[in-house]
């Protein structure tokens, strides 16, 4: 049977896995999917839109792979039957010719949740950063207006070498938008849209911006590090507050329709998969 290229939309809770990519010490998202595929004799190894680290959640992780003897509908039915609290699937769609989950992506949106009041919003505690608990921030007030201002300086095309792991290749990356959404119950959501991201980039950007807003170092030092790519004594925000929210593709390559993106079936209606209410 002739194989077809398909795109899968999956979601998962990062606190249940040691990251996406297969490794000797599991469990990982990739190995969980591969085991499920092998049980119906599908040997393809799915490629993700991006690898997430241990503890990072995904509302929309896109996988691309080829199918032979199993149809997209059959694969969706099989994977849906194995949905758990930790991992599930929304769609399996035939993908346009030339589609690749990672290399075809034009933009990704990450969201990071900050919990500003430890006495409130307990339902968000396991999927947000309770910033008052960080040893360098104890007793310091995080000023949200200042945080919003420093985050906006990240917009544009930069090297971002000061804000990502050294293992990632240096090069220009573009942040196309940063928005801070404050909720009444003590949770703040940072929405970051960019063309591509290096390892730990969002966590270093968020943590260092929080450090500036708390007065650990100046906004000028932050901007200088952004422009020059020199190291900065910032903070790497914890993984549990980060979620891969959305992956965008050019219209000619997007496997998912607009209405499908707006209302994905099977996505849990609870944190971390829901936006914070304004």
- Catalytic residue set: 53
**Cβ count near 42 (within 10 Å):** 20
Measured CA angle at 196 (ends 224, 253), to 5 deg:
155
List % helix, strand, coil for the chain (3-state, nearest 5).
25, 25, 50
Contacts of 171 (CB under 8 A, 6+ apart): 159
Tokens representing 100?
């690749």
Residue tagged 């971002």 (tokens): 160
How far apart, in Å, do the first and last CA atoms of the chain sit?
A: 50
Cα-Cα-Cα-Cα torsion 206, 208, 209, 211, nearest 10 degrees, comes to 120
Q: Tokens representing 37? A: 């595929």
Q: How open is the CA angle 73-23-81, to the nearest 5 degrees? A: 25
């Amino acid at each position: 049977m002739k194989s077809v290229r398909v795109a899968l939309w999956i979601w998962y809770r990062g606190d249940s896995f040691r990251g996406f990519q297969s490794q000797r010490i599991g469990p990982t998202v990739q190995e969980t999917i591969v085991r499920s595929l092998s049980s119906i004799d599908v040997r393809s190894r799915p490629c993700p839109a991006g690898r997430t680290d241990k503890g990072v959640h995904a509302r929309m992780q896109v996988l691309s792979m080829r199918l032979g003897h199993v149809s997209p509908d059959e694969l969706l039915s099989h994977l849906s039957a194995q949905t758990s609290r930790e991992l599930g699937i929304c769609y399996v769609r035939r993908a346009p010719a030339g589609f690749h989950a990672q290399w075809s992506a034009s933009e990704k949106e990450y969201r990071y949740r900050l919990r500003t009041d430890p006495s409130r919003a307990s339902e968000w505690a396991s999927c947000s950063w309770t910033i008052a608990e960080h040893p360098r921030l104890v007793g310091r007030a995080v000023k949200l207006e200042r945080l919003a201002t420093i985050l906006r300086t990240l917009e544009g095309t930069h090297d971002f070498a000061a804000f990502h792991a050294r293992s990632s290749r240096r090069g220009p990356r573009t942040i196309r938008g940063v928005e801070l959404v404050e909720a009444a119950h003590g949770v703040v959501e940072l929405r970051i849209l960019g063309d591509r991201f290096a390892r730990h980039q969002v966590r270093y950007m968020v943590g260092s911006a929080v450090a500036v807003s708390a007065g650990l170092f100046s906004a000028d030092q932050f901007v200088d590090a952004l422009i020059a790519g020199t190291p900065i004594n910032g903070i790497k925000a914890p993984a549990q507050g980060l979620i891969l929210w959305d992956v965008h593709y050019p219209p000619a390559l997007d496997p998912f329709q607009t209405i499908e993106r707006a209302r994905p079936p099977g996505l849990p209606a609870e944190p971390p998969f829901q936006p914070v209410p304004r």
